[in-house]
Amino acid sequence: MRFTRLRRQIEELLLRDDPLRELEIFISEHTEGSPVLPLKSLVSPLRSLFMCSNELIRWRSISALGYVASCIARHSLEDVRIIMRQLMWTLNDESGGIGWGSPEAMAEIMVSVPLVRDEYISIILSYVTEDGNFLEYPPLRNGALWGIMRLSVSAPHSLLACKSYDVIDVIAPYASNILEDDLCRFLAFLILFFTGHIERDKLIQHIMTLRGPKIRIYSDYYFHTVTTSDGETTGYFIDNLRGRLKEY
């Protein structure tokens, strides 16, 4: 199947109400027991959608790559590592690109493929560490923070077990620096909470100190908007972060 046609099909299914289910059906129909559409051929179209003008497609393609990687992992962990190295390359100055979506996709893969997770934990932490592979561009760095937040929800033990970086020491300065943008601090607060560094009530108090009235964040194929001054809805968001939420 040609790249353009495949990308268009993926783009269409990512806009449906239950994109993960649609992706499962698509993979089952086109790859299970058949060489017609090898799983690896889905990687490039998904990565190309990281730069899609439609924000929902862009984010869902990141989540979808995590799922596709989990399917690939059933056959070859080395192929998953190749995808990870490709994503890491886009964040390298020598690549000549910016690497939009790469830190987030790395995190999605680490969540979906636990067998390779610990190999890359220190790398994603290094992207927000000044003495590491620090990402200078704030929006890209926020992408890495989102990825760390994603890991803190699903695999806090892996972050806490990292020997190269202390996740609390790395993240705490982002939470306390009022010069950082609201999204950056919000993500840092969540990471500190899910890694057990701060209590739920304290987290809500911290979020209420943010400058803006709302924070919009993507999770589990949907966008969610948290009203920073409303402790009740903020608490609801925190308690249900692993699930699909309605937009407040």
Average pLDDT of 25-50?
85
Strands (E) across the chain are located at: 214-219, 222-227
In the block, residue with structure tokens 């996740």: 167
pTM for the model stands at 0.94
Residue 35 has pLDDT above 70, yes or no: no
DSSP 222: E
Residue 193 has pLDDT above 70, yes or no: yes
Is the pLDDT higher at 125 or at 2? 125
Q: How confident is the model at residue 246 (pLDDT cuts 50, 70, 90)?
A: very low
Cβ atoms of 91 and 105 closer than 8 Å = no
CATH placement of domain 3-239: 1.25.10
Q: How far apart are CA 88 and CA 47, in angstroms?
A: 13
Query: pLDDT tens digit string along 135-190?
Result: 999 999 999 999 999 999 999 999 999 999 999 999 999 999 988 999 999 999 99
User: Please, what's the b/e burial string for 161-180 (b: 16 or more CB within 10 A of its CB; e: otherwise)?
Assistant: eeeebebbebbbebbeeeeb
Q: How confident is the model at residue 40 (pLDDT cuts 50, 70, 90)?
A: very high
% of the chain at pLDDT higher than 70: 95
Rg, Å, the chain Cα set: 18
Q: How far apart are CA 17 and CA 196, in angstroms?
A: 34
Q: How far apart are CA 133 and CA 228, in angstroms?
A: 31
Query: pLDDT tens digit string along 91-142?
Result: 987 777 789 999 999 999 999 999 999 999 999 999 999 999 999 999 999 9
